[in-house]
Structure 1
């Protein structure tokens, strides 16, 4: 009976192995979310894990382990030092991961210590103001910054130098504001707290992602000045103008995806790259994306690794401009 089961499993999962390679057979698979329950990394693990099982890509439900600490650093260190050869492990990642790697926030860590699998979409950045703000466009906002930088504070749910902060700097630079250190940014524990401070009049603008801003827009509390996307987003999100169409060539996508242990076998790596790609291309995942404001972004395997390289290089440059790196 065991031989029959093994043969059936090999047939089922051979689809995800490259031609000529020994098929990797997933066992008790696990996804580490480098944060507490709730939030983007937890969402990534749980939703993709469910899709992997529902689509019969893995034989058992994917176990989700929440391993918070150090903005993802605790999980990264755990994978590198203790789980390096685990072929059944994947880890949720995002632009926050590459930002911290670029800034040396994970002591002694580098991107080459893990293997980069693929993306499952992007959460595009937005810059917004309170509903009753006299500012109606992104150029107006940055004109106010140029006139009196100390009078305009941006709030976000990431630390100083984090992704929400960097999105403001990307947009400011594209708007012709060259003194990155003069931009006032106030960090909060999450996007919800940042919006609360905006609505209370304590700050003048909000930097976040479309998914976290949508509820506040629907309730009438927020006015989105710009989405940091190449073009207007589809569906109900097409009401929001892009920065580019307002003459500010700024794009900021918070990609969501996965990395794997650096010592993962080539067979397992190829399996997981193809598995994540299959989930991304499925109708099941298209429904999840539409329901949660995720937008298309497809990078897998070597293409994803090159994308990560560029993300880190760009973040290092910006971080030096604001004095976070020498």
Structure 2
């Protein structure tokens, strides 16, 4: 007995859908939704979809330990997955440098692509008494314990490091400041909106999501020059007499036992993606700035960056 053609068609479509679901790539966000890690995966997802014959990519969230949970999950439990990418930032490399991922090193995973650069920034509520970076630093100098600072991570995280470097310029010991450890930039801005914290030393890409709504005032961007777009009117810390710059790389890595063929496939995918005519516009829409490295050059960059972060951590006595 022959099945009606409509049933055969439906069965074929169902099989194709299931196959696509099984083979779709995954981008793991190692934090809660709403922060710059989330933006990294969303940029990759959108840009890959726009390519001719582009890859499908789904997003998943694996927060915990500011990247540590995702790192150890991929290295120990999902080490052979060849279609799973994990977002990372300069903060991930800083954590590696300080041993916050345990007995881990940059060579434990395969570094695929940098999607762009970001910069640190300092934000307060729009109705805050701190109208300039000088106002905030003066308040910290008067009594650092009266200023509650929301950071993604704990002592030694990149958000902590930004405030530590700024405080050091006015003679404030970072150990005397009050920090609230949060999981990702989205949670930090939620705490700021609720007035649970008074300051967020986050990233410019995160600030672009919130500053436009009129609820946030960005006191300074930690870049060499003013940034275009939503934050174009915000002065740099250097313009305000504070010589602190904090660039942040954003990209993706994959599991250590992915095959060479799988690794090279994804390196090639991202190289083609970033060479497409509309990628720069998409990157800018997510608040990221030009920075492109893939494969072996990115791997060398990461190793050097981890060494540099270790030297900085020793300056603040975070590691021996």
What is the TM-score of this pair, normalised by structure 1? Answer: 0.77
- Pick from 85, 94, 107 the counterpart of residue 102 of structure 2: 107
- Pick from 283, 288, 292 the counterpart of residue 294 of structure 1: 288
Q: What does 1:147-296 correspond to in 2, within 5 Å?
A: 147-173=142-168, 175-177=169-171, 179-191=173-185, 194-195=188-189, 197-198=191-192, 203-296=197-290
Q: Deviations over 1:17-46 (max 9, x none)?
A: xxxxxxxxxx75443333455543344334
TM-superposed CA distance for 1:257, in Å, is 0.5
Cα separation, partners in 2 of 1:186 and 1:74, compared to 1, 3 Å: closer
Cα separation, partners in 2 of 1:180 and 1:275, compared to 1, 3 Å: same
Q: Deviations over 1:49-98 (max 9, x none)?
A: 3422431365x523444444443223322322344344433222222321
- Pick from 110, 119, 133 the counterpart of residue 114 of structure 2: 119
Write the distance in 1 (CA, Å) between the matches of 2:251 and 2:282.
Answer: 14
Write the distance in 1 (CA, Å) between the matches of 2:110 and 2:186.
Answer: 32
Write the distance in 1 (CA, Å) between the matches of 2:275 and 2:157.
Answer: 30
Cα separation, partners in 2 of 1:139 and 1:306, compared to 1, 3 Å: farther
Report the 3-state secondary structure (helix = DSSP H, G, I; strand = E; otherwise coil) of the residue aligned with 2:154. coil
Write the distance in 2 (CA, Å) between the matches of 1:179 and 1:266.
Answer: 47
Q: What does 1:22-171 correspond to in 2, within 5 Å?
A: 29-35=25-31, 38-56=34-52, 60-171=55-166
Report the 3-state secondary structure (helix = DSSP H, G, I; strand = E; otherwise coil) of the residue aligned with 2:137. helix
Write the distance in 1 (CA, Å) between the matches of 2:307 and 2:172.
Answer: 19
Partner of 1:305: 299
Segments of 4+ moved more than 6 angstroms: none
Equivalent residues of 2:211, 2:230 under 8 A apart: no
Partner of 1:5: none
Partner of 1:14: none
What is the TM-score of this pair, normalised by structure 2? Answer: 0.78
Report the 3-state secondary structure (helix = DSSP H, G, I; strand = E; otherwise coil) of the residue aligned with 2:149. strand
Question: Between Structure 1 and Structure 2, how many residues are aligned?
Answer: 298
Equivalent residues of 2:114, 2:292 under 8 A apart: yes
Task: Show structure 2 runs of 5+ residues with no match.
Answer: 1-22
Report the 3-state secondary structure (helix = DSSP H, G, I; strand = E; otherwise coil) of the residue aligned with 1:206. coil
Write the distance in 2 (CA, Å) between the matches of 1:141 and 1:299.
Answer: 36
Write the distance in 2 (CA, Å) between the matches of 1:36 and 1:137.
Answer: 30
TM-superposed CA distance for 1:110, in Å, is 1.4
Cα separation, partners in 2 of 1:102 and 1:132, compared to 1, 3 Å: same
